[in-house]
Structure 1
């Protein structure tokens, strides 16, 4: 049932003479999450009417069993155990509606019969896990059967192979899932599979006797020893229940354990095995689970391949195939595929025909899947993949009642989720937020605070709007996030207090200045005023001591971005602006010296810093800090200094010229003069190529610049054709990287212009208007073509006269 349980793949156990008051216990060996096992367990309990039901699971959860009957409890759910001193160390025991353990618990509650868990306590299981992590970073308890995958790791596969089947899932369906109610007696499936499981264990024990040493056998021995301890503890619990309840004892456990529970070694021997085990303090609760997390695809060792299908088999009272195909048809119709009732009828007939041909009692998942592919999906695997994802596996998310034990932080999070109407959902979805609305602003605060706490419920993605009042999040709730919430509970009892304490601690332990500035940005986004003040003090101290211009340039953008959020979030960003302006001043002073004597890699990195500082200074112009003057003018002076120094790498000089040109700090004629000087014969080709990379490379729109300015293109063309042959192979990789970053259409147009030659190129790009790329007069025919689009944008339903749009202020 858990990551610490290897019995999840087993089959059954037998009830020889069991169920009688004072007699031997009724051992019901099951496959975890098997609907056939679940139905058989319910039928066996109805027939035996035991005085107590014992279930494989941690005894610390006995007090949580009554919550299974709560009307707000909806499986799939899981028992969660975590270490009190280290909440991240945890274990889960998942249960679905079709899990035999869940059925046994519900039967006991409905019949007012005591129910107890009898597996090894979680206090020992988690202590073992901690010891394993310290020894070798592995988790043997979380790798059931890893030492012997042929039998212990997957008894179901071994049983299927022994019966001559190559597909364990299909064999299990035929033997258990398709068995009719009462077919062969209610105990027949348990008896049959127990006998096979007993033979498997005897075979495996014989293999152990002849096994030689080595790393694999050592790991196997450790896992086997822990299984022996678990089974000894379960036997002790069964004996105690037999003494207490004269009406009879029923045990529901993984089939692998049944032969061991059937044996009756001395009590003293069992007590000796469980004596002196390591311990750790644990807490337990119920948490929501999902069908997807029950699947083997997610690495759950006791998982199943098709939880959605198994849930359907358990819930469908009759005609399961027809009902399943109807679900599939409904899903495909929702995706705009044409599926009629005739398709459902034909698919059902095909599935039944395939089952007959293959000698199966009923159509299984493989037959229904092939019928759906052939009839409803026209042989395509694309819609079939959707069926597998949405129905065969599924995204069902369970619910637990509000009265379930939880850390205070979890309770506060649940309260906020209800208030903001932001329910956890297992399916991934995008959430658009308008921060001008109170509810959306609250959702944004919550998601940012949870990210600070390491609870990755939501991840920010690029928004379709460039406004700072818009945010887009991609949300998906995973059951493991419950562990992250419990782990974050050490920082505080509420989301606000925990996020504040975590931010302050992260600021103290941050290794670099850029980490502190990024943290300040996150504090602003999460609206943590009590954390922002100490973070800003640490930031100011770190900035004062850091003399590395690269570090300062890395730190500045995140800090300046934070200023954009002040107005929409109502946050005072005065302190941020002051520190950001101070960082910018220090970058201005140190950047020219830092850009000298750099190799190619360092120069490329510095080019990125120059771009980031340029963007940051542009944003700072909207929120100037008192006492720092016009930062924009001073930054342009720094760029002019960089563009004129021969000691500065070409890629940085070229970028400085381009930034000045884009901001109007440099006339086009002056830019062409600088380029012409760099591309003169006296400049080494490698330096000239780097200058071109800085000027037009990096995805900065340089291709369009060359396309519409014939003078610049002619300079580059003339220089490139004059590069000596022995130097051309050296500059080719850099030039190829530069021009390959252009859009395909831009590259194609540039190639056409170069092919036409200088004379034709001039007639195309430079016209009588005196502006490169523009004609002398308006092209009215092309302008008329966009009028319908403009009317649509302006919201005009009727077709107005053309004059209505002439001179309109749009």
Structure 2
């Protein structure tokens, strides 16, 4: 038999049936299925790594749901990997499924992944590595282009053919000649003969050889096709990128092909199936798979008829879910407009561009905002494939899959937020798993800011499973066979390798969050050694907050953190001793950095103050003593002196009278304006706006100083003041402006405003304001209703004062 025969049909060419396809093309997929049904070959050869032959039967498993990908990674270096993604509408997937359904042998015949990965490792900067990380040229993009002699420019065959046909968009050309022309209908082999002829002309025009790796791959494929023909005769079908068909058809000497393959580098590899996503099939994902609209192509491949009408109906459903008013009349009008646009543009049927223009005009009122949602959700889509449990995987992946099922954490391609209550055992276990994966570099979940409670028993995560995380799992497999064992080993190794003290303290925090009891002692020993040797106050100040957070989280999780508390208390003591000398004679940048360290230590001491070690050692009192030293020492930069005074005031360690005295000294005429402005920046920054709003004495001092700054010095002071006030909320800035505008005696910022009465308050009771606040106070305290609003001026000051006292009591 000289060709592939079937009832009433014969492959018109000599030799095997070569089916050149566009990877991930639904038209090619339908044509491949029609050709295989017509020819009924005895074997099917497919472009792909031959190491995956043993994985082909899993494609028939009921749990297999495309899109999926073949993952190859080097055994010794799992980070060196490559993917061969397959969607439901990929011609290769259709060929695999047809072969399995008809009990026909199916084999992969592309260059082995062992050479692919080794070639990538040895030639990382060469042109040959351009397609690594995907399924090589064809599966990663349009069929691989060629380069004219002496150049390194790849040519997109579809773009070349589209340009020859007068199209400026290869996607539109492909839709018109394949997707909209009923590929595979009538003569099942005609599309492949036409593509082979076109690719032959392109290869001849661009030098005939193409990319260096193409030549090697094609030599290997020719050898595999020869081997299959010896076993099955010419009744062999080959499904490959259309670019390769002329090369496979060409007769070449076996010795020449073997010579091209001689001496290729090689590494040990493992193969497995992994889930893939439609988003990763799009060019924008960075894994350029040759199609910009995988969701649209899946729709074209899956619907039986009326693709545009069904598509616009899906779009209308999505927009209705987003609370847009879209009726059946909108769908009908959009279908008519899409058809009209196709006729005006000379297209046989409406395509995606016509459907998109119709949606924009009819359903989105000309806006691109809802259209972006349609593109994201439908045109691209968030479909995530599934692989069967029987698929081979590294032990760590199996343990992770088991934990995901037990904790009901299903990987999803679309990002979602997960709220956890650590008081519940299941949520606590989920938190431990996500933290352990982060330690291993598997970023399935990222911590997010909670929208609800800010208690330490709450955690919010943003989850999104990306296909490359499968590579991260394979890489992390070198640390252990379970998530717990791998995270423990990785934490211990990172602790030993860490150079900065802050890195070790952050690692201790991660160990507590991930609940790694075996790793924590190792990390604590390294932490104690590094803390004892590190004399840099800045490094110690950076390390303390992470330690204190670890203590706080440890209490929530019921972890024994006694040893950690002792190290934190000792670290705080060393900071207290070294901070005053370290704050002397600093320039502006160093002073600002040290201010951030002071703020961090202050927050850490506040959290640490309730622990037994801190209470016994009087840490909070000692810290306040350090702040008093900083606030009164002239050699300390103004921003640090002002910040120390503010922190003491916030903690109630100085009275407002004393704070006003410190500000008066700092803003005295003898102080250079730049130094005074730095003091104000330290004192009034970080929420200091509310302090100025409610304490008119401080505002008056600041106002008097600012109005007295000489004109020649004002330009130097202005940048510091702008930086300070720009951090305030708009409402605070507006209130301060009103107070200053009113002036002395009117609730403004004049220095003489608070000469009488209680500091920060008016001398006499404002009856109208007192009466207005009573209903709200009663409502907040849950008393017997808000009561009637008093008439301004109708009551006495004594009555309002008595009632306020009663509410407060």
1:466 to 444, 449, 454: 454
2:288 is the alignment partner of 1:308: no
Distance 2:366 2:728 in 1: 41
Of structures 1 and 2, the one with the larger relative CO (CA 8 A, separation 6+) is 1
Counterpart Cα distance in 2 of 1:231 and 1:100: 19
Partners of 2:43 and 2:305 lie apart in 1 by 31
Q: Is the 8 A contact 1:157 1:168 kept in 2?
A: yes
1:126-137 mapped onto 2 (5 Å cutoff): 126-133=117-124
Cα 1:246–1:347 shift into 2, 3 Å: same
Secondary structure of 1:433 counterpart = strand
- Between 617-626 and 67-76, the greater mean CA deviation after superposition: 617-626
1:350 partnered with 2:337:
yes
Once the 2 structures are TM-superposed, how far is the Cα of residue 755 of structure 1 from its aligned partner? 2.4
TM-score scaled to structure 1, two decimals?
Answer: 0.91
What is the aligned-residue RMSD (CA, Å)?
2.7
Q: Where does residue 738 of structure 2 map in the other structure? A: 752
Residue matched to 1:688: 676
Count of residues paired in the alignment: 776
Q: Which residue of 359, 363, 366 corresponds with 1:379?
A: 366
Q: After superposing the two structures, state which structure 1 stretch, 688-697 or 771-780, moved more.
A: 771-780
Equivalent residue in structure 1 for 2:174, among 166, 172, 175: 172
The correspondence of residues 410-449 of structure 1 with structure 2, limited to 5 A, is 410-449=397-436
Any idea what the Cα deviations from partners look like across 1:709-768, whole Å, max 9, x if unmatched?
122112112212222222222222112211222122222222222222223345998598
Q: Distance in 2 between matches of 1:733 and 1:263?
A: 75
Distance 1:71 1:307 in 2: 23
Q: CA deviation at 1:153?
A: 3.9
Contact 1:653–1:694 (CA under 8 A) maintained in structure 2? yes
Given that residues 492 and 501 in structure 1 are in contact (C-alpha distance below 8 angstroms), is that contact kept between their aligned partners in structure 2?
yes
8 Å CA contact 1:288–1:397 kept in 2: the answer is yes
1:153–1:457 Cα change, 3 Å: farther
Name whichever of 127-136 and 104-113 sits farther off.
127-136
Tell me the TM-score normalised to structure 2 length: 0.91
**In the alignment, is the contact (CA less than 8 A) between 2:513 and 2:554 conserved in 1?**
no
Find the partner of 2:729 among 737, 740, 743: 743
Q: Does the C-alpha gap of structure 1 residues 20 and 174 become closer, same or farther in structure 2, counting only changes over 3 Å?
A: closer
Asked whether the equivalents of residues 58 and 388 of structure 2 are also in contact (C-alpha less than 8 Å), the reply is yes
SS of match in other structure, 2:23: coil
2:477 corresponds in structure 1 to: 489
User: Is the contact made by 1:21 and 1:248 (CA closer than 8 Å) also made in structure 2?
Assistant: no
Residues 77 and 475 in structure 2, CA contact (< 8 A), matched pair in contact too: yes
* Counterpart in the other structure of 1:211: none
For the 8 Å contact 1:295–1:307, the answer to whether it is kept is yes
Matched, 1:677 2:668: no
Residue 723 (1) aligns with residue 709 (2):
yes
Q: In structure 2, what is the equivalent of residue 332 of structure 1?
A: 319
How many Å apart are 1:16 and its aligned residue? 13
**Contact 2:5–2:39, Cα closer than 8 Å, also in 1:** no
- What is the CA distance between 1:140 and its match in structure 2? 5.9
**In structure 2, what is the equivalent of residue 197 of structure 1?**
199
Instruction: Check if 1:613 corresponds to 2:615.
Output: no
User: C-alpha separation between the residues in 2 aligned to 1:640 and 1:805?
Assistant: 37
Distance in 2 between residues matched to 1:763 and 1:692, nearest whole Å: 15
| 1:91 pairs with 2:79 | no
Give runs of aligned pairs for residues 582-593 of structure 1, distance below 5 A. 582-593=570-581
Q: Distance in 2 between matches of 1:342 and 1:719?
A: 69
Q: Does 1:319 align with 2:309?
A: no
CA distance in 2, matches of 1:729, 1:806: 49
Structure 2 partner of 1:659: 647
Give the secondary-structure state (helix, strand or coil) at the position aligned to 1:359: coil
CA contact (8 A) 2:46 2:108 kept: yes
Distance 1:754 1:762 in 2: 5
The equivalent position to 2:328 in structure 1, one of 341, 351, 369, is 341
**1:38 aligns to 2:29 (yes or no):** yes
Aligned partners of 1:19 and 1:26 also within 8 Å: no
Using the alignment, how far apart are the partners of 1:237 and 1:224 within structure 2? 20
Contact 1:524 1:562 in 2 (8 A): yes
**Are residues 1:542 and 2:542 paired?**
no
Q: Would the alpha carbon gap of residues 188 and 150 (structure 1) be closer, same or farther in structure 2, given more than 3 Å must change? A: farther
| Shift in Å, 1:150 | 11
Matched, 1:636 2:624: yes
Distance 1:671 1:799, change over 3 A: closer
TM-superposed deviation, 1:341: 1.4
Q: Is the partner of 2:72 in helix, strand or coil?
A: strand
2:244 matches 1:254: no
Deviations 1:681-712 (A, max 9, x none): 22121111111111002xx2111111221221
Secondary structure of the 1:564 match is helix
User: Do the aligned residues in 2 keep the contact of 1:151 with 1:200 (CA within 8 Å)?
Assistant: no
Q: Which consecutive residues of structure 2, in runs of 5 or more, have no partner in the other structure?
A: 138-143, 790-802
Change in CA separation of 1:191 and 1:787 when aligned onto 2, cut-off 3 Å: farther
Deviation at 1:339, TM superposition (A): 1.2
Q: Where does residue 66 of structure 2 map in the other structure?
A: 75
Tell me whether 321-330 or 772-781 shows the greater mean CA deviation. 772-781
Q: Residue 44 of structure 2 corresponds to which residue in structure 1?
A: 53
For 1:357 and 1:150, locate their aligned partners in 2 and report how far apart those are by CA, in whole Å: 39
Take 2:557 and 2:243, find their aligned partners in 1: how far apart are those partners?
A: 59
SS at match of 1:133: coil
Counterpart for residue 576 of structure 1: 564
1:705 aligns with 691
**Contact 1:31-1:255 at 8 Å conserved across structures:** yes
Per-residue CA deviation, residues 512-558 of structure 1 (Å, 9 max, x unaligned), is 00000000001000000111111001000000001111110110000
Gaps of 5+ in 1: 1-13, 209-222
